[in-house]
């Protein structure tokens, strides 16, 4: 059996560990052959491949990014896209099955390709942890660690100057990174996309912290909506992938806090630092297990399925189920954290 592996969409710590886990299990247990497809679906369409064997994956689990490169190319778009073309390229390379590691867009495309008869298994990837049907995705734990360390560092400088710090973390649609890093870092307020808040409420929390003689620290997801100030969010337009341009909500909130409370305030956007560098130990283990489970799914011919974490167990779920909706932060989890605000 010859297995192709590709990584698609935004990168994420742990991608290389998936590749290593899949290759080592495939080679050792099944004597499988592997080929790496460069830059997501684009590599398949443009014929860019790299050799993958037990030597080329040595030491990979601790390496950030993806050795295969990534892109957001949609396999259904362009004159060389579509299931027939993709199958033709796979046949030319003698590839029997593909492991597609990616987020919602990648998995949705993978499902449509399997509907057309292609042999694909999905591996969920997102630092945002927003994919339904898996309790955790690798990359999330690393992102939370990085954000927590940043919050700890910002706190000491906030304390030195008596300033309010507004720390912006990733989370386009959901607030998991903000919720976990905010709780770990002892934030005085956590602002997430699922729960719009008004600037008045935020200032109330800030003032109550100041009144106790402390420097307020606020963690905000990039996708948070400030209620009553929605128009301020819409001016940034769409990016190259037709998604609303994000980044900078903290730069809107910090000056408002300063103007309304008189507390000197600073915004820090953590951005892609949260996706960079080596994966945490937890993510290395989860990603390695995902890679090995993808091999099991291939040999069980579970085309159109995805590996997922349920509690501490791995399971195989249909990609359809997995892409059926975002895993948002439940209201109870937000309220649990909100007891600590202010």
Binding residues for ATP: 10, 72-73, 103-106
CB of 170 to ligand F6P, least distance (A): 4
Q: Say which residue the tokens 């300063």 belong to.
A: 258
Question: Are 66 and 106 spatial neighbours (Cβ–Cβ below 8 Å)?
Answer: no
Hey, which residues between 103 and 142 contact ligand F6P (CB under 6 A)? 103, 126-128
| Residue with Cβ nearer ligand F6P (25 or 275) | 275
Among 19, 107, 131, 170, binds ligand F6P (CB under 6 A): 170
Distance CA 132, CA 293 (A): 18
Three-class secondary structure assignment of 275-332: HCCCCCHHHHHHHHHHHHHHHHHHHCCCCCEEEEEECCEEEEEEHHHHCCCECCCCHH
Active-site residue, 128 included = yes
Hey, which residues between 239 and 298 contact ligand F6P (CB under 6 A)? 246, 275
Distance CA 133, CA 310 (A): 8
- What is the DSSP code (8-state) at residue 97? E
CB of 17 to ligand F6P, least distance (A): 18
User: Where is 164: in which H helix or E strand?
Assistant: strand 164-169
Give backbone dihedrals phi and psi of 274, rounded to 5 degrees, phi first: -70, -15
Beta bridge partners of 3: 34, 97
Handedness of CA 88, 95, 113, 300 (dihedral sign): positive
CB of 128 to ligand F6P, least distance (A): 5
Which candidate, 149, 153, 141, 151, places its Cα nearest to that of 177? Answer: 141
The active-site residue out of 31, 53, 128, 313 is 128
CB of 83 to ligand F6P, least distance (A): 25
Among 172, 214, 233, 260, binds ligand F6P (CB under 6 A): 172
| Residue with Cβ nearer ligand F6P (141 or 222) | 222
3-state secondary structure at position 200: helix
- Around Cβ 247, how many Cβ atoms within 10 Å? 14
Among 3, 6, 7, 10, binds ligand F6P (CB under 6 A): 10
| Residue with Cβ nearer ligand F6P (195 or 265) | 195
Hey, which residues between 71 and 100 contact ligand F6P (CB under 6 A)? none
CB of 295 to ligand F6P, least distance (A): 26
Q: Which stretch binds ligand F6P (CB under 6 A): 36-44, 168-176, 224-232, 311-319?
A: 168-176
- Around Cβ 325, how many Cβ atoms within 10 Å? 12
Q: Which stretch binds ligand F6P (CB under 6 A): 55-63, 169-177, 318-326, 331-339?
A: 169-177
Hey, which residues between 13 and 52 contact ligand F6P (CB under 6 A)? none
The answer to whether residue 69 forms part of the interface with ligand F6P (CB under 6 A) is no
The answer to whether residue 171 forms part of the interface with ligand F6P (CB under 6 A) is yes
Positions in the binding site for ligand F6P (CB under 6 A): 10, 103, 126-128, 170-172, 222, 246, 275
State the catalytic residues: 128
């Amino acid at each position: 059996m010859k297995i192709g592996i590709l990584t698609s969409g935004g990168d994420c710590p742990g991608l290389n560990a998936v590749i290593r886990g899949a290759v080592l299990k495939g080679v050792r247990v099944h004597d499988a052959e592997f080929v790496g497809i460069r830059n997501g679906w684009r590599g398949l369409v443009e014929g860019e491949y790299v050799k993958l064997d037990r030597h080329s994956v040595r030491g990979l689990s601790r390496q950030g990014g993806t050795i295969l490169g990534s892109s957001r190319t949609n396999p259904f778009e362009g004159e060389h896209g579509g299931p027939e073309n993709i199958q033709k390229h796979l046949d030319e390379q003698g590839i029997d099955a593909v492991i597609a590691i990616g987020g919602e867009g990648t998995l949705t495309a993978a499902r449509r390709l399997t509907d057309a008869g292609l042999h694909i298994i999905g591996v969920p990837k997102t630092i945002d942890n927003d994919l339904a049907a898996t309790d955790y995705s690798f990359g999330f734990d690393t992102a939370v660690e990085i954000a927590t360390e940043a919050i700890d560092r910002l706190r000491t400088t906030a304390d030195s100057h008596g300033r309010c710090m507004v720390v912006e973390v990733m989370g386009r649609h959901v607030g998991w990174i903000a919720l976990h890093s905010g709780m770990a870092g002892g934030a005085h307020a956590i602002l997430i996309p699922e729960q719009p808040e008004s600037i008045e409420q935020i200032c109330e929390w800030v003032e109550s912290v100041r009144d106790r003689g402390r420097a307020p620290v606020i963690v905000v997801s990039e996708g948070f909506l400030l209620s009553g100030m929605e128009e301020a969010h819409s001016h940034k337009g769409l990016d190259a992938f037709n998604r609303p341009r994000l980044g900078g909500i903290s730069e809107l909130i910090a000056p408002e806090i300063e103007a309304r409370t008189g507390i000197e305030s600073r915004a820090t956007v953590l951005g892609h630092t949260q996706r960079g560098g080596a994966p945490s130990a937890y993510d290395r283990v989860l990603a390695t297990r995902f890679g090995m489970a993808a091999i099991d799914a291939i040999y069980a011919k579970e085309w159109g399925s995805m590996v997922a974490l349920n509690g501490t167990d791995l399971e195989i779920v249909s990609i359809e189920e997995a892409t059926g909706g975002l895993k948002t932060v439940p209201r109870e989890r937000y309220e649990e954290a909100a007891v600590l605000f202010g």
